[in-house]
Amino acid sequence: MKKSLVFILVIFVLAIVSYFFWSLKDKDLQLVPKDADAVVLIDVKKLKEQYFFSSLRHPSVWFEGSRLNSKKNGLIIPDYIQIFHLENTNFSQWYSIFEIKNKDNFLEFLKGKGFKIAENNIYKKDRFSVKIEASKCVIGFSNSSFEEKSNLILKSKTKGLYADELINNSVASVSYFAKSKIHKFAFYLNDDNIEIKTKTVQDIFSSQISDLEKKTQFLKLKLDSKNAKIVSKLFNENLIDSIDINSVSAISELESVNDKIVSYTYDDNFNEVEKVSYQKLVQPNYTINIQSPETEKLWSYFQDQKWINAENQFTAIPFQPNEIKKNSFEISIQSTRKNINFGESPSGSFILLKNNLLFVDLLKVLSPSDKKSISKVDYLFYGNKADYYYLKLQLKKDKLPFILSQ
């Protein structure tokens, strides 16, 4: 009996010691260029730990093998994967650098994933690009200006960051480098949702999300001046920098409608014959209100951009018909087929984008793989009150936690 207890104690101590050494991490972040203005940091060991404990709760995946296993991809995976954004580039342009351990294995890995060589040691697949130079590779999450940016990244000096500056007890983090300080957001991977938020012990948005979920609209948003500027920057627009805008609110519903198509043919006697057919189209009904003390200046800006036609339709929104109006403090844009009232307005700035089958049909330009990914999403919510920021990607219910279902 005593021998058994000693054996169990030894195993317990060895397990604790092994976990201690396994959890030690190299926290020097040496792959972020000096001109990066934002960094996504992924704690690889914490991610594996979360995967392990999620697997313990779901025996059905015990014999499938870990989906987090790199399986000889030829790269050296650091303890913290560093994905960064460069100053003065489009929001979609993000990059990461890895050390190459075995170039042959890495090339075989790229080939197996469907990457094709383009030029100058650049491999591409869909929107992803990979540049190989010596013992390093740059991965780009956008093809735009990739060769130019990847060469600059490889020659750039690094910021010399330390992991504890950017992440603390979360599986990942998003950090933005402002002039005065670093703004940090913790990234949490839950069973059926992903959350990105600033640190707080308060549950600020749950009741608001619950109320908005009950509504039929697929989009509802209200943004104050600060948040309108943030969203504007994401789309690389400079409008709100030059015009004072107090707030933006919008609401939209999707509807499937029959679109009438009239064509003409000729009979045997060459008489013109009208032919009528119908096709199903997804149309949004919407209302957009922009409050500003400079509505005349904003209206002139829209006219200079040729976004207002002779019928007072706002042509920057491709879904017609609509009508744009202005008064001394507000510009409104409404679909004329069906008007929608904004209704009660919760406090704070927020965006709620709900998923449905009509929304996927609306995005015809997306690839089948993108549509499949979107089909797994229930809704996206962004909220801000004072210094608290919150982003939630709610996924549709599945048998397995998100980390095990990929």
> How confident is the model at residue 99, as a pLDDT?
93
Q: How high is the pLDDT of residue 20?
A: 44
Task: Return the closest-CA partner of residue 184 out of 194, 169, 205.
Answer: 169
Residue 344: its pLDDT value, please?
Answer: 73
pLDDT at residue 88, as a whole number: 85
Least-confidence region, from 89-93, 116-120, 223-227, 234-238:
234-238
CA 346 to chain centre: 24
pLDDT band at 381 (very low <50, low <70, confident <90, very high): very high
The 10s digit of each residue's pLDDT in 274-298 is: 777 777 777 888 999 999 998 999 8
Compute the average pLDDT of residues 200-214: 78
DSSP codes, 90-123: -TT-EEEEEEES-HHHHHHHHHHTT-EE-STTEE
Q: Say if residue 228's pLDDT is above 70.
A: yes
Kindly tell me if the per-residue pLDDT of 65 is higher than 70.
no
Residues with Cβ within 8 Å of 198's Cβ and at least 6 positions away in sequence, in order, are 183, 184, 185, 186, 387, 388, 389, 390
What is the average per-residue pLDDT within 77-87? 91
Average pLDDT over residues 179-205: 84
Higher-scoring residue by pLDDT: 57, 18: 57
Give the pLDDT mean for 85-109.
91
Residue 90: pLDDT band by 50, 70, 90 thresholds?
Answer: confident
Structure confidence at residue 12 (pLDDT):
47
Distance CA 262, CA 402 (A): 48
pLDDT band at 305 (very low <50, low <70, confident <90, very high): confident
pLDDT tens track for 264-277? 777 777 777 777 77
Euclidean distance between CA atoms 294 and 130, whole angstroms: 46
Q: Distance (Å, rounded) from C-alpha 144 to C-alpha 152? A: 14
Rounded Cα distance, 371 and 363, in Å: 8
pLDDT in the model for residue 234: 62
Say whether pLDDT at 6 is over 60: no
What whole-number percentage of the chain has pLDDT above 90? 29
User: What secondary structure letter does DSSP report for 153?
Assistant: H
- Over residues 383-399, the mean pLDDT reads 88
Separation between Cα atoms, residue 323 and residue 331, nearest integer Å: 11
Single-letter code of the amino acid located at 350 = F
Taking residues 82-108, what's their average pLDDT?
91
Banded pLDDT at 40 (limits 50, 70, 90):
very high
CA distance 97 to 89: 18
The predicted pLDDT at position 19 comes to: 44
pLDDT at 22: 44
Contact 223, 232 (CB under 8 A): no
Higher pLDDT, 68 or 166: 166
Average confidence score pLDDT of the chain: 82
pLDDT at 191 over 80: yes
Count of residues for the chain?
406
Residue 366's pLDDT is what? 66
Residue 331 has pLDDT above 90, yes or no: yes
Q: pLDDT tens digit string along 131-145? A: 999 899 999 998 888
